[in-house]
A and B are shown apart, each in its own frame.
Chain A
Amino acid sequence: MSNTSDIKKPYPIIGLEVHVQLKTKTKAFCRCENKYGGNPNSRICPVCMGMPGMLPVFNRQVLHDSILAGHALNCKIARVTKFDRKNYMYPDLPKGYQISQYDKPICYEGYLTIENDDGTTKNIRITRAHMEEDAGKLIHLEDGTNNSYVDYNRCGAPLLETVSEPDITSPDEAVKYLKTLKEIFQYIGISDCNMEEGSLRCDANISMMIPQADGTEVNTPIAEIKNMNSFSNVKKALEYEMIRQVEEYEKTGEVNNGTNKTTRGYDDSKGVTVFQRSKEGESDYRYFPEPDLPHLEVSDEVIEQQRERLPELPAPKRKRFVSQYGITEYDALTLSASLALANYFEDVCKTTKYYKKASNVVLTDICAILNAENITIEEFSIPADHVADLVNQMGDGKISSWIGKDVFAKMMATGKTASTIVAEENLAQMDNDDEMENICRGVIEANPKSVEDYHKGKDNALKFLMGQVMKQTKGKANPVKATELLKGMLG
């Protein structure tokens, strides 16, 4: 390939399969607690252990959460859906089959809008999203016995698998897609989407389009990449695979013929993908309809109920925050990162019109406390209208921002409102011109060196003098007024 310089560069086509664990109270087909961790095999029962004669009973919450996700992904919702058995034997799969959905997934034909860094957007089509159950976890202890152990706590936990069309054309776009999907699922509250805990898992199907000198393109065999346990690994694995597939094509000339798909695992330590099996080596899952569960008829009512549950999603919310509250894109992004925080901010804005100040208080003062105490906004003790009161005190010029921080700290400590604290402690800004003039004059007289510096054009001199005024007024001086007074007196 010597003449590639004058033709287009090879580009990938990528489709993603994302499993998220739904955070329902109980498992998908039994009433064991659905929770991460715990002592191995402490959250199991005869049903999720697949003992003889045990039968699955479907948890309707799984259906509801999946429909909600379907709405968020602009999917069609199936009116009749069913479960199928995916048969394969592995020690972490007690029944020897996984209850999944084969040909009638609950959600289908949707799309997810991703936003590129330049502000443009792109829709990635969603093929389907279906419900299934998780398997247990194999544990290999270095205990000298050469034994493997199985923890079945996760077994039977509900999963939603979202499959995209191969609309993704770069590793960066793949990561964008994942981040957007994660944000949405967290936003609608159906999953923690924690990759480390395995509540979000991703496999990628990738092949390369290689432009030819004659204007045609060839498509390399598809590789399904597994074991990518972070977003950065997804990016690295896809970048590696792009190069590998082009090199492989140059060596062998093999193109995608519909049957030569391979499965490869990402090796984090070496930064490479490793061949696992070809399609022929894949197990035949022998899907057939799950006879233990009747077909599910999904009523319009259920579909509408879930549509009502759907909150405004992060992307449109950000746009609205910028236009409605006049705050920066960056602040809008941070505020909308969690639905609860965004709601709190909007609650504050109900009783104040100083939106920017409100945003500052929420993002700096309140978030600092949330971080320091490791709590969520739901656990934060000050009601939104009290915060609005504080914002109004500052916005109306009754107190300075500097005093505002003090008042906020006192609100935290005492639970009193900002108005009460300002009144009780006489913290309102000094508006008496005579008193202000006296203080300013005193400061100028006491600091001749600074006055001299000021006249030499040193900026810091005025700031120093202002600091002295503030010190003497205990921060109550109106800074704008004080600056004007000082400048006038200094000439």
Chain B
Amino acid sequence: MSTQLTYKEFLSRVKSGELSLPEYYQGLKSKIETEDKEINSLLSVNNKLDEMAAAAQERYKDGTNRELEGIAVAAKDNIAVEGLPNTCASKLLENFIPPYQATVAQRLSDAGAIFVGKANMDEFAMGSTTETSAFGATKNPVNKDYVPGGSSGGSAAAVAAGFVPAALGTDTGGSVRQPASFCGIVGYKPTYGLLSRWGVTAFGSSLDQVGTLTTNCEDAALLTSKMMGLDEKDSTSSSRVPENIKDFKAIDIKGKKFGVIRETLENEHTDEAVRAAMQKKIEDLKAVGAIVEMTSIEEITYGVSTYYIIAPAEASSNLARYDGVRYGLQVPRVADEDVKDRFTKTRSQGFGDEVKRRIILGNFVLSSGYYDAYYKKAQKARIVLADRFVQEFNKYDYLITPTSPVLPFKLGENFDDPLKLYTADLCTIPVNLAGLPAVSIPAGIDGVSGLPVGMQLIGKRFDDGLLLGAGEFILGETK
């Protein structure tokens, strides 16, 4: 774990005058400048940091400081932040600066947070290594020969490298939790609907949720408490206030019931190193008084195939807007070209292979003649799976899986094997399909490779605060 201050510690030091914001941001900038050349976690850095830090310091002086005044945070490059590009790590949006700010970014800014920059990612959040970025892969700060995971790999790496205390990511099938696991930090995906998606570039609209990458659960709860709440601009957002988010505390798990989903541990895809780390962590939980049992959700094995129908279907539609007509990449015009040719050219040049692969897949599963066999069936499977989670939560307070069944990949290792990468999402995907909250917390380091393993805790819908509270307790008590 990093030795970074929590936001609360940071804020109290700024308040007491121990820490000067202009100096802090100077340090932060020079660290990024020297170290991020190699890691490539940030695609853009805010050029107004000096002014913003000075203004925040001023507010402390005159007593108008807001709750998060001066905290540093980074955002994945698909979350619109005022004045910063929003490339989605795609050539198609290389020069796109949105004329609006995502609700989550607005709410954090309104609370005084400062956006340091925009983080690298897999193109349009499609990938699990950050290698599909059109602007170069990000390296894992833990070991630079390895990928940081993805698609929020830039966000995870920026936090793990100590550039920022926290970063926002987006999670459609594990894209916050898996990079957190690969980089040895905390990655939290809220209940679907807890955070507004307005201003967040859509991938799979019924699955997408903004999440946080932090070094502890308390910071995740703090950021979430400021970002959550009904947004009239997002009809799928909720006004529900989860317990234990606003006045966050660690929750003693003594006597709490945990179900370990057997299918995520005992299968051909799970590394022995991951299994061993999980076993040890489970013993730790028992040692502090938790009741931990093995349980079974067989339907979880259909998660990956279900997801790889629904997510590409929605993506194929969500990405149809990138046609070069109104914004984004415009390829030079050739005489006598019809509009279809221009669409084809723009999209052929603008999108990378993984994005194209998913658009083609999505269009296929929605085509007439195939809709019933694929999309409709996947929707049914999704409902069955969600029901199974509800049943399990009648028995358990929390469910447990590894976050990733495998250790981090080497850079380039699996780039040409999409199916293998898709399969590696088997633990995280079902959570999005069911709309549940989940957090990945560090579960130890593999002794052989020195690479981190993450444990995923899954909670009931809108039990986000209780989930993070348990996570915080486990982080503190079971090192």
Contact = CB atoms under 8 A, between A and B. Distances in A.
A292 B205 contact: yes
Interface string B111-132: 0000000000000000000000
Interface stretch (A47-55, A62-70, A170-178): A47-55
A286 B326 contact: no
B409 interface: no
A178 to B, nearest CB: 31
Interface in B328-373: 335, 339, 343, 363, 366-368, 371
A85 B315 CA distance: 12
Contacts of B164: none
Contacts of B323: 89, 91, 96
Interface string A334-352: 0000000000000000000
Contact of A51 (B314, B325, B327, B363): B327
Contacts of B197: 53, 55
B205 A291 contact: yes
B421 interface: no
A58 interface: yes
Interface in B56-115: 78-80, 86, 88, 93, 96, 98-100, 102
A102 B295 CA distance: 41
B198 A55 contact: yes
Contacts of B339: 90-91, 148
Given A96-B323, A97-B317, A53 B368 contact: no
B41 interface: no
Contacts of A97: 317, 320
A89 B320 contact: yes
A264 interface: no
Contacts, number: 105
The residue among A50, A53, A87, A97 with the most chain B CB atoms within 10 A of its own CB is A53
Given A46-B99, A91-B323, A96-B321, A56 B235 contact: yes
Contacts of B198: 53-55
Nearest to A95: B321
A52 B198 CA distance: 9
B439 interface: no
A294 interface: yes
Nearest to A29: B235
Contacts of A54: 100, 198-199
The residue among B80, B205, B317 with the most chain A CB atoms within 10 A of its own CB is B317
Contacts of A292: 202, 205, 234-236
B25 interface: no
A399 B98 CA distance: 73
A53 B343 contact: no
Given A51-B98, A291-B206, A292-B205, A96 B236 contact: no
A464 interface: no
Contacts of B319: 96
A96 B202 contact: no
Contacts of B325: 91, 94, 150
A87 to B, nearest CB: 5
A490 interface: no
A94 B339 CA distance: 14
B453 interface: no
Interface in A58-109: 58, 85, 87, 89-91, 94-97
Given A52-B86, A57-B233, A288 B200 contact: no
A58 B235 CA distance: 8
A50 B322 CA distance: 9
Contact of B366 (A55, A91, A286, A291): A286
Contacts of B205: 291-292
B232 interface: yes
Given A150-B325, A288-B317, A291-B206, A52 B201 contact: yes
Nearest to A138: B339
B80 A288 contact: no
Given A96-B321, A294-B236, A49 B326 contact: yes
B163 interface: no
Contacts of A55: 197-198, 233-235
B375 interface: yes
B96 to A, nearest CB: 7
A280 to B, nearest CB: 12
Contacts of B367: 284, 286
A453 B319 CA distance: 92
A225 to B, nearest CB: 23
Contacts of A294: 235-236
B282 interface: no
B313 interface: yes
Interface in A263-297: 284, 286-288, 291-294
Contacts of A291: 204-206, 236, 314
A52 B235 contact: no
Interface in A18-67: 46, 49-58
Contacts of A53: 78-80, 86, 98, 100, 102, 197-202
Nearest to B96: A52
A59 to B, nearest CB: 12
Contacts of B232: 57
Contact of B343 (A50, A58, A89): A89
A51 to B, nearest CB: 6
Contacts of B313: 288
Nearest to A290: B205
Contacts of B93: 52
B351 to A, nearest CB: 13
A394 to B, nearest CB: 59
Contacts of B96: 52
A46 B343 contact: no
B233 to A, nearest CB: 6
A55 B234 CA distance: 6
Contact of A96 (B320, B327, B371): B320
A53 B197 CA distance: 7
Contacts of B79: 53
B235 A293 contact: yes
A53 B327 CA distance: 14
B345 to A, nearest CB: 13
A104 B44 CA distance: 45
A287 B316 CA distance: 12
A94 B236 CA distance: 22
A49 B321 CA distance: 9
A150 B144 CA distance: 48
Contacts of A150: 325
A288 B376 CA distance: 9
Nearest to A49: B326
Interface string A379-395: 00000000000000000
The residue among B88, B204, B235, B343 with the most chain A CB atoms within 10 A of its own CB is B235
B366 A288 contact: yes
B208 to A, nearest CB: 9
B200 to A, nearest CB: 5
Contact of A87 (B98, B236, B317): B317
A90 B340 CA distance: 8
B366 A87 contact: yes
Contacts of A148: 339
25 contacts: A51-B100, A51-B327, A52-B88, A52-B98, A53-B78, A53-B98, A53-B200, A53-B201, A54-B100, A54-B198, A55-B197, A55-B198, A55-B234, A89-B323, A89-B343, A94-B325, A96-B319, A96-B320, A284-B367, A286-B317, A291-B204, A291-B314, A293-B236, A294-B235, A294-B236
Interface of A: 46, 49-58, 85, 87, 89-91, 94-97, 146, 148, 150, 284, 286-288, 291-294
Given A96-B319, A292-B234, A292-B236, 19 more contacts: A50-B321, A51-B326, A52-B80, A52-B93, A52-B321, A53-B98, A53-B100, A53-B202, A54-B199, A89-B323, A90-B339, A91-B323, A91-B339, A96-B317, A286-B316, A287-B366, A288-B313, A292-B235, A294-B235
Complex A-B, nearest 4 residue pairs according to Cβ-Cβ distance, in ascending order: A96-B320, A286-B366, A291-B205, A291-B206
